[in-house]
Amino acid sequence: MNEERVLALAGLFQATTLAQQLANDGRCDDIAMAASMASVFRIDAPSVVGVYGDVSAVRLGLRQLITLLDESNRDVAVTRMAFTVMRLERSLSRRGDLLDRLQQGVVAAQRQVEHFGADSPQVVKRLAELYATTLSTLKPRVMVTGSPQQLQQPAVVEKVRTNLLAAVRSAVLWRQLGGRQWQLLLYRRQCSMLARGLLTGSTINNT
């Protein structure tokens, strides 16, 4: 396990945490969501940190990852969602046609970013539609549970889907870096230590 893999995992857990916040409350950490959304567009980033902009951009994900690895009061819904996303990424990797459609869709959404701004409702809507027409068609489907009242609101559903798209982006990155699900069990302590180090470093750098 190395810092790059831990960062990719943090990106994954951040996006699924945001999706769960939205499903429960209809709102989420806007700054963290902006960072997760931005990662979708950074396909050719020169480094893993570059995908997220900065280590501090995935602090929410690092905290969630530490909770998963160290504590018994982990968020079961977020954890289940993250592991389902990992399996979904494996399904996606076998579908070159959908990968192409995803890439084309991200490029099209990028043009909207330039026009409306990175976290505009138009861009969220476009990314949500992209998720619905590509990743939602694969098995396993990511099941999001929460408040029925919130999950009936189109704007909330769009943000949930956008975060799930960002989660898959991080899962792809994790796999590209040699990440495998069993490593979370085998290198649990090492992963936790690395996550704590990254979190502490990002906090110091931003004070």
Where along the chain do its domains lie? Answer: 3-205
Mean pLDDT of the chain: 93
* Count of other CB atoms within 10 angstroms of residue 17: 28
Closest-CA residue to 141 (of 80, 64, 75, 70): 80
CATH architecture under which domain 3-205 falls: Orthogonal Bundle (1.10)
pLDDT at 207 > cutoff 60: no
Tell me which long-range contacts 75-78 makes (C-beta under 8 A, separation of at least 24).
75/17, 75/20, 77/20, 77/145, 77/146, 78/13, 78/16, 78/17, 78/20
pLDDT, position 22? 98
| Relative orientation angle of helices 76-93 and 154-176, to the nearest 10 degrees | 60
More confident: 90 or 203 = 90
Tokens of 81: 């969602």
Q: What is the pLDDT of residues 49-67, one digit of tens each?
A: 999 999 999 999 999 999 9
Share of the chain above pLDDT 90, in %: 83
pLDDT at 80 > cutoff 80: yes
Give the mean pLDDT of 151-178: 97
pLDDT, position 202? 87
Share of the chain above pLDDT 70, in %: 98
Most distant CA pair in the chain: distance in Å? 46
Tokens of 169: 């982006």
Residues 6+ apart with CB under 8 A from 107: none
pLDDT at 71 > cutoff 80: no
Closest-CA residue to 39 (of 8, 85, 81, 6): 8
pLDDT band at 126, cuts 50/70/90? very high
Looking at residue 133, its amino acid is: T
More confident: 73 or 157 = 157
Give the mean pLDDT of 24-34: 96
What is the pTM (predicted TM-score) of this model?
A: 0.95
Give the mean pLDDT of 129-155: 96
pLDDT at 206 > cutoff 80: no
pLDDT band at 199, cuts 50/70/90? very high
Give the mean pLDDT of 145-165: 97
Degrees to nearest 5, angle at CA 108 with 13 and 91: 45
pLDDT at 204 > cutoff 80: no
pLDDT at 123 > cutoff 80: yes
Closest-CA residue to 65 (of 110, 8, 117): 8
